[in-house]
Structure 1
Amino acid sequence: MDKLSVMHAYRRIVERGNFARAAEDIGVSPALLSREIKLLEESLGSVLLTRTTRSMSVTDAGRLYYDEAIGILDAVSKVETRIRDGAGTVRGHLKVNAPSSFGQTVIAPMLPAFRNAYPDLSLTLSLDDRMVDMVEGGFDVSIRIRAAMPDSALVARKLGAVRQRIFAAPAYLDRAGHPKTPQDIAQHAVIGFLLADHLTSWSLRGCSGASTVELDPRVRVGNSLVLRDLLIAGQGIGTLPDFVSNAPEARGELVRVLPDWELPAPEILAVTASRLGMDARVMAFLEHLRAALRT
């Protein structure tokens, strides 16, 4: 008995819901498929499927075997793909997920060079500031900016870190005054990032120690680029990641508030679902992304 072939057949049976449809997919007779599954059950000493003339159901043991079979079959498929692509040819389709502001300010500018380097690769870039289920979404890699990854089956690789600092427009500070200490910020018009862990509490670090400021932002937005534009318009004080703040700070549209203080630096993570490592498509994309982060 070819265990991988039978495992593949069993997966199709469970996903298609009956033997006839699975047999049609695989190209064998239902009777042969039934015999193969019977042999599998006998080798395992456990019933995987309960069958009647009209219905089929998966037992607890069958569900466990199905879940493990998916992982094994997918792993084998990915190994075979990596070997076939071992010469380094980057082709096929790459599906990437990233936060909106990071995607627009860092990934989008690098895409023309990436596309020119790999013309045989098609690309889907999905931008979403909320955490997505990358497995359910079918993403090959997800870029996440977080202080730490929660425990999961996903594999995270660090690409860099983000400096998160406090900014305001010169016009706002001329009008409202410059905060002298972290606690002074609570007296100002604060614009908060709706999805951040630090929406109402800023744990700041500086050369003189640490300070926590409790806040009630007058305006709360769910996109860093909108927050940036409100700050430039003189609407208040807020925190921005460096990939969003660098350009307006260089132009003088924003200035640092309490330059000796900043929030803890979250990490830029490339998250994949495979424990086997990254294939040529993902590796090529991350190579270009690392180069963009260095500029």
Structure 2
Amino acid sequence: MMISAEMLSSFAKVAETLSVGRSAIALKVTKSVVSKRIAQLEAHLGVTLFSRSTRRIVLTSAGELYLEHARRALAELHAAEELLLASRSEIKGPIRITAPVSWGQRVLCKLLPEFLKMHPGIEIELTLADRMVDIAFERFDLALRWSASLPKQDLVSTPIAKIDWLLTASPSYLALQDEPKTPEDLAHHSTLFYWREPSDQWWVMSAGQSQRRIPVKSRYQVDNPEAVLEACLQGLGIAQLPDYLCAQAISDGQLRQMLPGWIQQTRFGNLITALAPPERMRNLRNRLLIDFLSQSEGANLLKQLNL
């Protein structure tokens, strides 16, 4: 007896729901069919995948070990099926995405409607979160993350967008303080910090072969760049901000860029990267979205605004 896709899908669904009944409903078969498929799979493998009692069903250690491989095999089968069907039918199905909150709100949410109009059969479920995610455990198809904070998992990465970090302040702040002419001048200014760890109160920047690591005095530390932008606009100090967040304000004269010859090196990196397990990266829906985002974000935002 060969292992079938139906056995694997029944096993994966019961592992997800921990219920034969709910799995049967989701798979549109009877409970007896689900139970038979799992029994056949266990017999073929020679192991017990679930520990059963009158009240509950849980994965055994062997079941937990096998689950990841079963999900990967199912994803490979679905990807192969999509590739074969793509040339003669509309591409359909869901994509579960997670992205950083600020970039997601400011950039991604403006791009996804266009993608969905191009592919009416595709559905998107978007979760905006700055926390580290376990892509496999949380069942995401794609994670869009800063390049310097990638999770340590067996994932394939693809760059999506280049982000420039700019040193900015409002005209009202600079009317009261001398504009910094060198990186060292920043040590004497009030700074606004996009912060996650207290030890991060240093700004690093480079120009050619020269690099500076400047200790900064932060009046305001917050883990959301939107809040940093608002404080900067109100004249509380100097901030390092990503271009998608501050470029329009610079273009409108609400903010001024300082030390433009120096590249800001933040703990987040300067790329937004798409991450996925290898089998999901080959999924046609995911590839379509990655290609769309890469092309949409390819043009430099600062050049668009003539900065």
**Structure 2, unaligned runs of 5 or more:** 300-307
The CA distance in 2 between the partners of 1:112 and 1:59, in whole Å, is: 42
The offset of 1:251, in angstroms, is: 1.4
> RMSD of aligned C-alpha atoms?
3.5
Higher mean displacement: 66-75 or 55-64: 55-64
Q: SS of 2:281's equivalent?
A: coil
- Matched with 2:2 is 2
The CA distance in 1 between the partners of 2:132 and 2:281, in whole Å, is: 22
Q: Does 2:278 correspond to 1:277? A: no
Higher mean displacement: 266-275 or 129-138: 129-138
Q: SS of 1:263's equivalent?
A: strand
The offset of 1:167, in angstroms, is: 0.8
- When normalised by structure 2's length, the TM-score is 0.77
Q: SS of 2:127's equivalent?
A: strand
Q: Which amino acid aligns with 1:267?
A: L
The offset of 1:219, in angstroms, is: 0.4
The offset of 1:13, in angstroms, is: 6.4
The offset of 1:239, in angstroms, is: 0.2
The offset of 1:28, in angstroms, is: 3.5
Where do residues 1-295 of structure 1 align in structure 2 (5 Å cutoff)? Answer: 1-4=1-4, 5-8=6-9, 11=12, 25=30, 27-28=32-33, 36=40, 39-41=43-45, 60-87=61-88, 89-147=90-148, 149-195=150-196, 199-207=200-208, 209-264=210-265, 265-275=269-279, 277-295=281-299
**Structure 1, unaligned runs of 5 or more:** none
Task: For residues 82-140 of structure 1, give each alpha carbon's deviation from its aligned partner in whole angstroms, at most 9, with x where no partner exists.
Answer: 43334473333333222122122222333443333233333333222333333344332
User: Based on CA coordinates, which of the two structures has the bigger radius of gyration?
Assistant: 1
The offset of 1:238, in angstroms, is: 0.8
Higher mean displacement: 98-107 or 112-121: 112-121
The CA distance in 2 between the partners of 1:276 and 1:124, in whole Å, is: 16
Task: For residues 28-59 of structure 1, give each alpha carbon's deviation from its aligned partner in whole angstroms, at most 9, with x where no partner exists.
Answer: 396x6687356424xx5x66667899998765
Task: For residues 117-172 of structure 1, give each alpha carbon's deviation from its aligned partner in whole angstroms, at most 9, with x where no partner exists.
Answer: 23333333322233333334433222112226343122211123222121111221
The CA distance in 2 between the partners of 1:205 and 1:260, in whole Å, is: 9
1:113–1:201 CA distance, 2 compared to 1 (3 A):
same
Task: For residues 227-285 of structure 1, give each alpha carbon's deviation from its aligned partner in whole angstroms, at most 9, with x where no partner exists.
Answer: 12221221100101122222111112111222222223522101123435343332333
Contact 1:161/1:268, CA 8 A, preserved across alignment: yes
1:177–1:106 CA distance, 2 compared to 1 (3 A):
same
Q: SS of 2:167's equivalent?
A: strand
- When normalised by structure 1's length, the TM-score is 0.80
Higher mean displacement: 198-207 or 228-237: 198-207
Contact 1:50/1:57, CA 8 A, preserved across alignment: yes
Contact 2:20/2:31, CA 8 A, preserved across alignment: no
The CA distance in 2 between the partners of 1:29 and 1:269, in whole Å, is: 39
The CA distance in 2 between the partners of 1:293 and 1:20, in whole Å, is: 45
Q: Which amino acid aligns with 1:209?
A: S
The CA distance in 1 between the partners of 2:229 and 2:19, in whole Å, is: 55
1:221–1:86 CA distance, 2 compared to 1 (3 A):
farther
Q: Which amino acid aligns with 1:292?
A: S
